[in-house]
């Protein structure tokens, strides 16, 4: 069991509750796949075979397994005991000799990680950092674990998601349409209430400065919608292909890259 006093206790319980169905709900969904493909493209260009990489909020281990297939060694952590159980089961079944280790640890405690050498890079995929109240502290802790020049790739939910706004406005759900806009919302997951933070690009950059300098930002799911629209997109598979094609153009445009479901930032650990 993790020390629940350090991470949000309700968030940990919520993800424990979601863990068993997470892959069916998100990892294997058409939308989840489409969004993750873009992240994998960036991971592929960032990490090389032989690198030793830290993964925060690894969930069921989809990305760690992907990197391991490419020869990357991964130390992967998540606050949820159930997510780690599933990831570890998967590792034993699919690639017992892969250089991956899954451990339960919240982001708020990464300063406790003891490692024989500093990491060549780090990443956090799909909104784990949106559950963390103090990103300044995360940046400070992360900086001590990483080699100078090492990349940090992070995928966060955005503050303003246009497809979400349009979807809910058309249904007359004003409050849901603008739920992210205040920068913080209480999301209900089963019987649990999770505080979710939606920092802007500028706020994330500021939190990670001066130890990290931002090198790139791409939009993830600019027109490809959030994964809760999976039942709708399954009825319109051709539309998803069109959206993927549009995203290939818009995800790099300054005006659009922070208006999708997620934004993917690539930082570099700089010498102070
Ligand atoms: C949407 S899932 C993403 C999982 C995985 N990275 C992926 O790409 O599928 C968010 C993950 O963040 C984890 N998480 C939430 N708050 C956390 C915290 N404070 N410390 C570590 N992990 C946390 C959850 O347990 C969950 O596995």
In the chain, what are the domain boundaries?
9-269
Which CATH number applies to 9-269?
A: 3.40.50.150
220-239 pLDDT, tens digit per residue, is 999 999 999 999 999 999 99
pTM for the model: 0.96
Residue 156's Cβ-count burial label (10 Å; 0-12, 13-18, 19+) is buried
Beta strands 184-189 and 151-157, pairing class:
unpaired
Centre of ligand 1 to C-alpha 57, Å, is 4
Cβ atoms of 160 and 258 within 8 Å: the answer is yes
Cβ atoms of 263 and 158 within 8 Å: the answer is yes
Centre of ligand 1 to C-alpha 148, Å, is 26
58-76 pLDDT, tens digit per residue, is 999 999 999 999 999 999 9
Q: What's residue 272's pLDDT?
A: 66
Cβ atoms of 138 and 154 within 8 Å: the answer is no
Calculate what percentage of the chain has a pLDDT beyond 90. Answer: 95
Within the chain, strands assigned E span 52-56, 73-78, 100-104, 121-124, 151-157, 184-189, 192-197, 212-220, 262-269
Contact 177 CB / ligand 1 (< 6 Å): no
Instruction: Name the token pair of 4.
Output: 């629940």
Phi, psi values for residue 119, rounded to 5°? -80, 145
115-157 pLDDT, tens digit per residue, is 989 999 999 999 999 999 999 999 999 999 999 999 999 999 9
Contact 57 CB / ligand 1 (< 6 Å): yes
């Amino acid at each position: 069991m993790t020390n629940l006093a350090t991470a949000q206790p309700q968030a940990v319980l919520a993800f424990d509750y979601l863990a068993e169905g997470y892959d069916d709900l998100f990892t294997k969904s058409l939308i989840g796949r489409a969004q993750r493909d873009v992240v994998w493209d960036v991971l592929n260009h960032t990490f090389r075979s032989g690198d030793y990489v830290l993964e925060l909020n690894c969930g069921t281990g989809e990305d760690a397994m992907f990197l391991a297939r490419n020869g990357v060694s991964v130390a992967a952590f998540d606050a949820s005991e159930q997510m780690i159980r599933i990831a570890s089961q998967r590792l034993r079944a699919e690639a017992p000799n892969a250089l991956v280790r899954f451990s339960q640890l919240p982001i708020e405690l990464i300063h406790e990680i003891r490692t024989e050498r500093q990491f060549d890079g780090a990443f956090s995929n799909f909104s784990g950092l949106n559950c963390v109240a103090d990103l300044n502290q995360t940046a400070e802790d992360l900086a001590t674990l990483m080699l100078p020049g090492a990349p940090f790739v992070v995928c966060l939910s955005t503050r303003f998601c246009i497809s979400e706004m349009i979807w809910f406005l058309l249904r007359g759900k004003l409050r849901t349409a603008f739920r992210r806009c205040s920068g913080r919302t209480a999301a209900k997951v089963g019987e649990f209430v999770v505080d979710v933070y939606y920092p802007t690009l500028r706020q994330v950059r500021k939190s990670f400065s001066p130890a990290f300098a931002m090198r790139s930002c791409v939009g993830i799911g600019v027109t490809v919608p959030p994964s809760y629209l999976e039942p709708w997109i399954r009825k319109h598979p051709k539309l998803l292909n069109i959206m993927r094609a549009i995203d290939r153009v818009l995800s790099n445009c300054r005006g659009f890259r922070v208006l999708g479901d997620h934004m993917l930032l690539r930082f570099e650990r700089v010498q102070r």
